[in-house]
Amino acid sequence: MFLETNIRTPLASLNTSSVEKNEMTTSKSNKRSGQWQSGLNPWGNSSSWNRVREVTNEHEMPTSAVISISKMNDLFLQGLASYQSMKPHWSSAIDQELLHAKSLIENAPMIKNDRKLYNPLYRNLSMFRRSYDLMEGTLKVYIYKEGGKPIFHQPPIKGIYASEGWFMKLLEANKKFVTKNPRKAHLFYLPFSSRMLQTTLYIPNSHRRDNLIQCLKNYVDMIAAKHPFWNRTEGADHFLVACHDWAPAETEKHMAKCIRALCNADVKGGFVFGKDVSLPETNVYKPRNPVGDLGGKPPSERSILAFFAGSMHGFVRPILLKHWENKDPDMKIFGRLPMSKGNRNYIQYMKTSKYCICAKGYEVNSPRVVEAITYECVPVIISDNFVPPFFEVLNWESFAVFVLERDIPNLKSILRSIPEKRYLELQMGVKKVQQHFLWHPKPVKYDMFHMILHSVWYNRLYQITPFN
């Protein structure tokens, strides 16, 4: 596993995420998919989601226990050490290739400096570099051809669900990682869009999505009947990439053993350390230029201490505005900004602020985290129990601040307590980590496409169970 060579103690407890959704989202399930060893699942089980949550206007703070970012680090390490997928029903040379790669990663030669990789950003730079290189030289993915459009093979590449779409688009066009021979595949991709599943099958105001879940079950049953590969591992070497809020619940039963890359990566919503992957949520405005307008003002010219703007989704944002809207000139905290061409007002605030507040909406995830990194503004994540993207690799405390939801009244004092030297370190980390959070029409080394694929590859390496 990646040894903790760079993990710092957090400056402030934190969690955050905010999402501009077009429909109401759902409550969380605490049911754990996969096999947890004793002591790693402190929340027990609950029934799977059958109904869509009725969102109320209450703005009271829930009182359930919070998993801090430091505790998540512990759970991540425990999960890697103890989570194992089921023993395959028959052997494959592919398994031996993965076990060999895992051994090479664990014995990676020490790297102190890398021209493209900034050491403080990573849990263990040497192991990440070795793992990434092995992925590039080894990994083969088989994509199932089955599945009809628009739910399968027709990804959304614009808007806040674009992460699942861009990954599907780029992988299906990739010749390096994709194999047409499934017997050579280390991983099998389930090419469905959780967004298109919702828009195609959900009946508005029905508050039920049994038919969405049934659609995915039918797909799994079909590929299991047609091909032997799902049956060998019961789906443990299969993966999905899904950004809609409902994806954790829709996949928790019939795709429970799959590696799930989820935007809604909630520790208390079924996310399994050692198996699941936190998927960055990206709001793509112009598919022809997904990178957009990178960068922002240098630190010395960022005159605003903290910025937030967004709709009042969920209970955290109204609390944020209650304490900070029009209360302090250093804190530019707003509801939804007036429309402007190309969202210029919003972007300009991010480019001129030191800290960008990433407050959760209905669910833990938010495109603001990636937006802040894009405009070189230090993310301040206020979203309890949110697992940040690429958690397997990145030391998030080297470029982000985490604030507990209950500490919103103290937000300014928390930010002011960060020394200038430390802020400059964080901001440098944001600039250096930016390459991992960019989409390119043609993927480039270490970009978002490759990082998502790497996280899936890495988790598979550490959950594989030898046949013998």
Q: Which residue has the higher pLDDT, 178 or 33?
A: 178
Q: Which strands sit side by side in the sheet containing 304-308, from one edge to the other?
A: 331-333, 304-308, 353-359, 378-382, 401-402
Contact 137, 460 (CB under 8 A): no
For strands 353-359 and 304-308, give the pairing: parallel
Residue 3: the pLDDT is: 47
Neighbouring residues of 79: CB distance < 8 A, sequence distance ≥ 6:
36, 40, 272, 273, 274, 275
Position 171 pLDDT exceeds 50: yes
How does pLDDT run across 258-268, given as a tens digit for each residue?
Answer: 999 999 999 99
Least confident of 216-230, 240-254, 277-291, 420-434: 277-291
Look up the pTM and report it: 0.87
CA atoms of 53 and 69, how far apart (whole Å): 27
CA atoms of 59 and 61, how far apart (whole Å): 6
Residue 226 phi, psi (nearest 5): -90, -30
Report residue 59's pLDDT band, with 50, 70 and 90 as the boundaries.
Answer: low
Ranges of each domain in the chain: 69-282+442-463, 299-437
Residue 160 phi, psi (nearest 5): -80, -5
Position 47 pLDDT exceeds 80: no
Residue 344: the pLDDT is: 85
CA atoms of 263 and 366, how far apart (whole Å): 8
Among residues 382, 378, 357, the alpha carbon closest in space to that of 430 is found at 378
Range 420-425 contact pairs with CB under 8 angstroms and sequence separation of 24 or more: 422/11, 423/299, 423/354, 423/378, 424/299, 425/120, 425/398
How does pLDDT run across 72-102, given as a tens digit for each residue?
Answer: 999 988 887 777 777 788 888 999 999 999 9
Neighbouring residues of 214: CB distance < 8 A, sequence distance ≥ 6:
none
CATH 3.40.50.2000 fits 299-437, yes or no: yes
Rounded mean pLDDT of 116-142?
A: 97
Alpha-carbon distance values, 289 to 294, 442, 451 (Å) = 11, 11, 19
How does pLDDT run across 215-253, given as a tens digit for each residue?
Answer: 999 999 999 999 999 999 999 999 999 999 999 999 999
